[in-house]
Amino acid sequence: MRALVRPPRLAPGARVAVVATSGPVPEERLQAGLDVLRGWDLDPVVMPHVADRHATLGYLAGSDADRAADLQRAWCDPSVAAVLCARGGYGAQRMADLVDWDAMAAAGPKVFVGFSDVTHLHQAFATRLGLVTLYGPVVAGIDFVKNARTQEHLKATLFAPETVRTIATAGAALVPGRARGVTLGGYLGGLAADLGTPFAHGGARGGLLVIEDVTEAPYRIDRLVTQLLRSGWLDGVAGIGLGSWESCGPYEEVRAVLADRLGGLGVPVVEEMGFGHCEGALTVPLGVPAELDADTAALTLEEPALS
């Protein structure tokens, strides 16, 4: 793992594009999210296919080609300073191969924000563009629309990233210790699904892995982590930060699985770090050198997420 290029921070008045990379976007929540962005003195523009729904596959926001075209068009527009995802769900991996990543690279660095299914694109931005991205709330997400902590943490990361160098949480050490490395990760199911695909990280060696998931039963979490272990993807990981496991069953059972599967790696592991599919979710930069302190449940960035 190596540190990636940090895109420029946002300034008041910046134009930001909203794209739908995965599932259909609820109109009412989208409008509420746009109001939040306007309240930050940003100028949000909604890409043409954000409101689409696939003709036969109702879990997709329009066709793969249209979603890919919206992302590429937004990224390559020189007037756009950031691209924000409207929601997660499913579908990002279906359109990732339809994006012209060479054209995206030529457009230069800018901010990219999203979480959950957007993990597939975070990996592509890292491996194809060498760019720091933000694993943070989506514009039409309930948490972003309604939760002040989620809003303020993302806002600070976007406008004043030096003020959120330490991501302190109410978590605890599952395995004690300290580790340094470059952050990577996302939702567990997406990382497992990306194994062997063209844009995935080759492994987590030397990295600080941050993972979370939603609606995965404990035995399925076991299966996903075991897949990463058996593939060798977790070989050499420096430390692990665990986010939320919303609707994954009793947390005691989830915790037992994570302790069993990850405890033998011999690296610090922090649980309940407050990012992912949880109320008040924090924004975590991916691609930034950092220190994970399991004893204080804190992730401290060596440099601000954005330049």
CB 116, CB 42: distance < 8 Å:
no
Buried b (16+ CB within 10 A) or exposed e, 69-99: bbbbbbbebeebbbbbbbbbbbbbbbbbeeb
CB 286, CB 184: distance < 8 Å:
yes
From the candidates 22, 116, 122, 272, give the one annotated as an active-site residue.
116
From the candidates 22, 272, 277, 291, give the one annotated as an active-site residue.
277
Phi/psi at 210 (5° precision) = -115, 125
Any catalytic annotation for residue 122? no
* First vs last C-alpha separation in the chain: 20
Kindly write down the DSSP assignment for every residue of 21-46, as one continuous string.
Answer: -SS---HHHHHHHHHHHHHTT-EEEE
Q: What share of the chain is helix, strand, coil (3-state, %, to 5)?
A: 35, 25, 40
Rounded-to-integer distance, Cα 110 and Cα 299, Å: 23
Any catalytic annotation for residue 277? yes
From the candidates 212, 216, 271, 291, give the one annotated as an active-site residue.
212
**Strand duo 166-168 + 298-301: pairing:** antiparallel
Rounded-to-integer distance, Cα 53 and Cα 149, Å: 31
Q: What angle separates helix 218-231 from helix 251-262, to the nearest 10 degrees?
A: 10
Rounded-to-integer distance, Cα 237 and Cα 208, Å: 7
Give the pair of three-digit tokens for residue 136. 């943070």
Place of tokens 């919303």: 246
Active site (catalytic) residues: 116, 212, 277
